[in-house]
Amino acid sequence: MPSILIVDDEANIRSTLKGALAREGYQVDDAPSVAAARTLLREAYDVVLLDVWFPGENGLDLLAEIHDSAPETTVVMMSGHANVETAVQATRLGAYDFLEKPLSLDRLLVVLRNATSARALQSENQRLRASWATPLVGGSPAMRRLVEQIALAGPSAARVLLSGENGTGKELVARALHDASPRRAMPFVAVNCSAIPEELFESELFGHERGAFTGATQSRRGRFEEANAGTLLLDEVADLSARAQTKLLRVLQENEITRVGGSRTIRVDVRVVSATNHDLPAAVAAGRFREDLYFRLAVIPLHVPALRERRDDLPQLVQHFLETLARETGRRVPEFTGSALQALARYDFPGNVRELRNLVERLVIMNPGARIGAEQVGAALPRVSPVAATEDGAGPSALADAVRDFERRHIEAALAAEAGNMTRAAARLGLERSHLYKKLRQLGMRAEE
């Protein structure tokens, strides 16, 4: 049973609580003062029942000390002179609950059971998180929720579908799922489905035998074989053709493949994690994506939040990128002022974390000083020209036209700045090179233009 320390200056309360809790099976110690409690707290306790007021001492001070030195300890505050202000202050300092005297034993036992269950769940989540080391930076509610979902889903063998905009870090999440699983010591293989030509899809994923087609001078394993006993990430899975979707579905159903040009069936044990920036349910409804394949892939759907959904993480992300650049370059990097961070927070970052990373690197390279302020950030951020309004103020005839016009001008500016170099232009835009080519096709543009 959990161990409990009762800290109260009234002997009769200590005696009554100690006897009642001992009868419930708890291991109980007690202390008449904050000073005595500090001595006993050299040992670890699961729960501390702590009075607020002591002669010449304040229980809230001890609460703050416990929260700093032993955050895993659950503290329940007690007071016969409770008020809202004290309760709020105790909660802010890390108290699990606040009970008013005279205590109800039934209420206390419920609180202790709930606290014990919450502590067990927290310990289990910490154990699971410790099993994966992929850095997911941020403590915003959206990121905490994602980390908890990874800790729960990671150890299973269930397929996961990651949805989220480009640049949000879906591959990092996939690696975190792999690291949190029993497969962590086995291969993690990532495939960008949008970058595979239709005619090479089967060869890329399932492999081929020598002589299977022109240029196949030797046998080659496919990505499923490379990821055997590990994890396979199918990025941009929504871009698969109808024929490729059918082939993939069969493999997921049978857990076996046949190399192109071969006749031998090869069993594979692969956990598939897929990712997309499209609305797959909408694609299913429109007939562009197989419904049976969607349900095979989306056993556990996880959403990776856009940067604008987690603005609170901006300072941590900037610091993380600065530390990474310092390690990579071996030199001191400048710090961002508070006004610089505020300027960043006002920008929506359509390219998400990838765009932020590129922006931080550009600012570090182009500003050799010790500090980067709001002026430098403002100069580096893209300048969005307002869309000319029509006479009725409605702007372009459709929102889609305005978006396409903005994207076209943004891409043209990036290509011009990089003298037509697609790789550097993609980096400037916070996109992968294959995504930039895809976007050009959607806009009816050609790279040479």
pLDDT value at 384 more than 80: no
Final residue in a domain of this structure, among 285, 303, 321: 303
Sequence-separated (6 or more) residues with CB below 8 Å from residue 192: 235, 236, 432, 434
Residues 290, 178 share a domain: yes
| Average of per-residue pLDDT across 414-434 | 76
Residues 296, 320 share a domain: no
Beta bridge partners of 383: none
Domain containing residue 104: CATH number = 3.40.50.2300
C-alpha gyration radius of the chain = 29
In a domain, 405, yes or no: yes
pLDDT at residue 302 in the model = 96
Residues 271, 180 share a domain: yes
In a domain, 130, yes or no: no
Q: Is residue 288 helix, strand or coil?
A: coil
Q: What percent of the chain has pLDDT over 70?
A: 90
Sequence-separated (6 or more) residues with CB below 8 Å from residue 204: 191, 196, 222, 223
Q: Are strands 97-100 and 74-79 parallel, antiparallel or unpaired?
A: parallel
Amino acid present at 22: A
pTM above 0.75, yes or no: no
pLDDT value at 10 more than 50: yes
Amino acid present at 416: A
Confidence of residue 443 (pLDDT cuts 50, 70, 90): confident
pLDDT at residue 14 in the model = 93
Six-digit token pair at 89?
């202050």
In what helix (H) or strand (E) does residue 362 lie, and over which residues does it extend?
helix 352-366
Residues 156, 115 share a domain: no
Phi, psi of 275 (to 5 degrees): -140, 150
Secondary structure letter of residue 311 according to DSSP:
G
In a domain, 107, yes or no: yes
Confidence of residue 29 (pLDDT cuts 50, 70, 90): very high
Residues 218, 78 share a domain: no
Domain containing residue 420: CATH number = 1.10.10
Q: Other CB atoms closer than 10 Å to residue 197's CB: what's the count?
A: 8
In a domain, 234, yes or no: yes
Domain containing residue 225: CATH number = 3.40.50.300
The region of weakest confidence among 215-229, 276-290, 307-321, 339-353 is: 215-229
Average pLDDT, the chain: 85
Residues 324, 250 share a domain: no
Final residue in a domain of this structure, among 262, 288, 303: 303
Residues 242, 352 share a domain: no
Residues 154, 52 share a domain: no
Residues 94, 54 share a domain: yes
Confidence of residue 396 (pLDDT cuts 50, 70, 90): very low
280 vs 199: which has the higher pLDDT: 280
CB of 118 within 8 A of CB of 74?
A: yes
Final residue in a domain of this structure, among 92, 125, 158: 125
Six-digit token pair at 209?
């035998």
CB of 275 within 8 A of CB of 162?
A: yes
For the chain, give the number of residues. 449
Query: Domain range spanning residue 21?
Result: 3-125
pLDDT value at 131 more than 50: no
Amino acid present at 344: L
In a domain, 135, yes or no: no
List the strands of the sheet with 188-192, edge to edge. Answer: 188-192, 231-235, 271-276, 160-163, 300-303
Residues 427, 289 share a domain: no
In a domain, 191, yes or no: yes
In a domain, 290, yes or no: yes
> Which of 79-83, 95-99, 131-135, 401-405 is predicted most confidently?
95-99
pLDDT at residue 393 in the model = 43
pLDDT at residue 408 in the model = 77
120 vs 50: which has the higher pLDDT: 50
Q: Other CB atoms closer than 10 Å to residue 307's CB: what's the count?
A: 25
pLDDT digits 0-9 by tens, 320-349: 999 888 888 887 888 899 899 999 998 989
pLDDT digits 0-9 by tens, 186-231: 999 999 998 888 888 889 999 988 888 877 778 888 999 999 999 9
The region of weakest confidence among 146-160, 197-211, 276-290, 396-410 is: 396-410
Phi, psi of 426 (to 5 degrees): -60, -40
Six-digit token pair at 130?
């410790």
Domain containing residue 368: CATH number = 1.10.8.60
Six-digit token pair at 384?
């969005």
Q: Is the Cα dihedral 315, 320, 322, 323 positive or negative?
A: positive
| Average of per-residue pLDDT across 71-76 | 88
Q: Are strands 231-235 and 47-51 parallel, antiparallel or unpaired?
A: unpaired
Residues 427, 373 share a domain: no
Confidence of residue 123 (pLDDT cuts 50, 70, 90): low
Residues 154, 223 share a domain: yes
In a domain, 318, yes or no: yes
pLDDT value at 130 more than 50: no
pLDDT value at 121 more than 70: no
Say how many domains are in the chain: 4
Amino acid present at 309: E
